[in-house]
Amino acid sequence: MTTQEETTISAVISILVENESGVLARVIGLFSGRGYNIESLTVAPVEESRHQSRINIVTSGTPQVIEQIKAQVGRLVPVYRVSDLTTLGPHVAREMALVKVVSSGESRTEALRIAEAFRARAVDTTATSFVFELTGATDKLDSFIDLMRPLGLAEVSRTGVAAIVRGPRTI
């Protein structure tokens, strides 16, 4: 680590793995063992036969650390491919949140109004609560949740980021 700049960047790493037991533990263990950040993580089978899963990890570090992450992950035996979407070009990164707001009166109508503006859907409604479903970029979800905070925000469940490169290219 002699000459490289120390600026921290954020990266979306997509990893295609053999869908076998322990493979997620290998990836996560590698991150914690080597001191890499995990800001969010998603994993699910992505292939018809369910032999392969895709893991998306949002991480941050110096460019050199991001390079190391890719190389270290690439060393794992059940890993087919690992890509840093942030360097592959433009990509789409989305996550979904379920947001529970418990309130009444003025706050309740305000919550509903903001939800409409964000195109969040109320997937559960009671006299005293809403569960909103919202999909979008991470910062959009963050600001929606921030706005709900004074309006009775009670609970949040988020999926973490799923990401894919724009255009015809694949990882």
Partner 1 sequence: MNATPNLNDLKPNARAAAGDVVLSGAEVLLRVLVDQGVEVVFGYPGGAVLPIYDALFRQNAIRHVLVRHEQAAVHAAEAYARSTGKVGVVLVTSGPGATNAVTGLVDALMDSIPVVCFSGQVGVPLIGTDAFQEADTTGITRPATKHNYLVRRAGDLARVVHEAFHIARSGRPGPVLVDLPKNLTVGPAPYQPASRAPHPSYRPRTEPDREAVARAVAAMKGAKRPLFYTGGGIINSGPRASEALGRLVRMTGFPCTSTLMGLGAFPTTDRQFLGMLGMHGTYEANLATHGCDVLVALGARFDDRVTGRLDAFSPDSFKIHADIDPSQINKIVQVDVPVLGDAGRIIEMMIEEWARQSEIPDSAALAQWWQQIDAWRGIRSLHFEQDMTPSAIIRPQHAVRRLYELAMETGRDTYVSTEVGQHQMWAAQHFQFDRPNRWLTSGGLGTMGYGLPAAVGAQIAHPDALVIDIAGEASTLMNIQELGTIAQYRLPVKLFILNNQYMGMVRQWQELLHGSRYSESYSAALPDFVRLAESFHARGMRATCVGELDDVIRAMLAEPGAVVADISVAQDENCYPMIPSGAAHNQMLLGPEQDGEVKVSAEGRMLV
Can residue 124 be called a binding residue for partner 1 (CB under 8 A)? no
Contacts 24+ apart (CB under 8 A), 29-33: 30/72, 30/73, 30/76, 31/57, 31/59, 31/69
Based on CB atoms, which residue is closest to partner 1, 1 or 127? 1
Based on CB atoms, which residue is closest to partner 1, 26 or 100? 26
Can residue 7 be called a binding residue for partner 1 (CB under 8 A)? no
**Distance of closest approach, residue 103 Cβ to partner 1, in angstroms:** 44
Q: Out of 11, 12, 13, 17, name the contact with partner 1 by CB under 8 A.
A: 17
Can residue 67 be called a binding residue for partner 1 (CB under 8 A)? yes
C-alpha closest to that of 137 among 92, 72, 75: 92
Can residue 3 be called a binding residue for partner 1 (CB under 8 A)? yes
Taking the CA atoms of 146, 161, 132 and 44 in sequence, report the sign of the dihedral they define: negative
Can residue 68 be called a binding residue for partner 1 (CB under 8 A)? yes
Contact 39, 59 (CB under 8 A): yes
- Which chain residues interact with partner 1 by CB under 8 A? 1-4, 17-22, 25-26, 29-30, 33, 51, 64, 67-68, 71-72, 74-80
